[in-house]
A and B are shown apart, each in its own frame.
Chain A
Amino acid sequence: MKTYCKILLLLAAGLVLVAASLSLGTRFIPPWDLAGIITGEPGSVDYTILVKLRLPRVLLAIVIGGALAVSGTVFQAVLKNPLADPYIIGVSGGAALGATAAIVTGAAPGIVAAAAFAGSIAVITIVYLFSKRMRVGSSALILSGIALGFILSAAVLLIYALSRSDQIHRAMLWLMGDLSGARYDMLNLLGCVSLALILAVMAYWKHLDVISMGDRFSRGLGVTDRDVRVLFWAASLLAALSVSLAGVIGFVGLIVPHMMRSVFGPGHLRLVPASAVCGGLFLLVSDTIGRSLTPPFEIPVGVITGFLGGAFFLVFMVRGRWAA
């Protein structure tokens, strides 16, 4: 199949999925009525549900999913490790510690997000300082990220041990990943910053191609440590932003790049935008399932991505379409 056919197919699937996601939920709104409601009277119940609740949530799912998938794509190339994901250097651990501390002290959602962001930035900075001594991409760096992750989750458990059970429940729900807090003001900020970072990554597509062939190879062609650091920061910030606004959503950043690689090949010119789109759609589908399956209760989106992602992963591997 020609590449532009694949791209058209992906975009068509995107439109269908967005429409489906806007229709589905506790209250079903027929897809053919969507346009009429959005352009119609602002006062109706359907309008409020669509524009105030579902649309921001749909947009948030797409932005977060895209950010996670692009972050994973970059980490897999830079660390030359097919098992790398956005959380590999411990960003999620830092965010979890920040968010948990804020939640158990009863902070407002905005403060929770800020604390999570501060935690993940702290982790990125520590790992970045490590990388001055260990090469970016070396397994020593990955292992130090994992070690940091252990320390941070121990700290989270310590906070649990000292907290009341209702607070622990709230903190655990946050950890599972949650898009229900979607609001337009957070979307403005997140959307712009994520888009800027994704575009920055796009500008480095040739570097990513060269880097994915190995360290000596890329140095020999003129890729500098500075280039690698730029990519490291861009991928880390994408992960930090999404984790602080939506919690720890697993699997998107790991499997989407792999699936896109087997469809579009290893070249990052196509891989990065394809991962962004497909990551967004994957999270959108997961979230739609999560909030439509057992109304009026919601299943946290991180649980759905875990189930869906794991199943996809296994089917992919068993069918031998694995292109590492």
Chain B
Amino acid sequence: MSIFELHEVNAGYRDVPVLRDLGLTVSDGEFVSVIGPNGAGKSTLVKTLSGDVRPSSGTVLFKGRRLRDYRARVLARELSVVHQAAEALAPFTVYEFIRLGRFPHQDSFVLESDRDREMIARAAETTGVAGLLSRRLTELSGGELQLARIAHALAQNSSVILLDEPVSHLDIQHAVMIMDILWKLNREGATVVTVLHDINIASDYSTRIVGLREGGVFFSGAPAEVLRYDLVEALFGTSCIVLKNPTTGRPFVYPVPGYVQKEGGVT
């Protein structure tokens, strides 16, 4: 079954088109990483998949139905979204914040059901924030906050999780922790779609990598197929060498210092 199906999607802001005739299909159980240069449309793609940006033309299907036909609450039970760093931070405790993830499943007048408590405990366990539950969001480090946001998304108990640069500003310990959690979720059956800045993290964890360029899909395939030096060079416009990560056996991309490509070739 396909989770997302995009056909000839055009989307953007006011008069600036960002996605141009984009076509993409994500199947159940995939771990898809979206990479590409700044301005290629990665965040717009995430917002289109989450329903925050409405395409000006083309269709976006989620589990076979048009995304815009979903009731918001129903969609929230099937799709969790972790946007780039939170817009506002009300000083909720970590527990209260994770509980907000239960919102799409709750009635107005029940504080929390046994099921809610169970799901919150499990989300906290999976992400390792069980020791932070009484801390306030405003007191957390960047890494802890990101773990709490993942826990919040897990409490939604959806089968699809969509993330926009979940590890961009984190130290390598937290980056690996978060990617390991996503990898484990994927192994347990969740479909993961995430924008990543780091090509090598994408290489190590993904079942498929989608390279986005100028609002369209430039390449799409397993890391070993698409992370070739010529494709990566063409995508990012910088020279690189591709070796193999000795621990995972996946491609490992080294940029070559001093060789940024100008229009039409290597300088």
Contacts and interface: CB of A to CB of B under 8 A. Distances in A.
Interface of A: 80, 203-206, 209-210, 212-217, 219-224, 265-267, 269, 323
Interface in B153-212: 156
B100 A203 contact: no
B100 A216 contact: no
Contacts of B109: 203
A265 B92 contact: yes
Most buried by B among A219, A223, A266, A267: A266
A221 B103 CA distance: 7
Contacts of A220: 50, 52, 76, 80-81, 83
Contacts of A221: 76, 100-101, 103-104, 156
A323 B91 contact: yes
Given A224-B72, A266-B91, A267-B96, A216 B103 contact: no
B92 A267 contact: yes
B237 interface: no
Contact of A222 (B73, B86, B90, B96): B73
B87 interface: yes
Contact of A216 (B75, B83, B101): B83
Nearest to A268: B90
A210 B100 contact: yes
Given A222-B75, A222-B103, A224-B72, A213 B90 contact: yes
Contacts of A203: 108-109
A203 B109 CA distance: 7
Ranked 9 nearest A-B pairs via Cβ: A222-B73, A214-B87, A222-B76, A266-B90, A222-B72, A222-B104, A220-B81, A214-B88, A212-B90
Contacts of A205: 108
B58 interface: no
Interface of B: 50-52, 71-77, 80-81, 83, 86-93, 96, 100-101, 103-104, 106, 108-109, 111, 156
Contacts of B74: 222
B103 A206 contact: yes
A23 to B, nearest CB: 39
Nearest to B105: A222
Most buried by B among A203, A209, A220: A220
B103 A204 contact: no
B103 A219 contact: no
B108 A265 contact: no
Contacts of B103: 206, 210, 221-223
A149 B161 CA distance: 44
A214 B111 CA distance: 21
Given A204-B108, A216-B83, A222-B75, A209 B88 contact: no
20 contacts: A80-B88, A205-B108, A209-B96, A210-B103, A212-B90, A213-B87, A213-B89, A213-B90, A213-B92, A213-B100, A214-B88, A215-B87, A216-B50, A216-B81, A216-B87, A220-B76, A220-B80, A221-B101, A265-B92, A323-B91
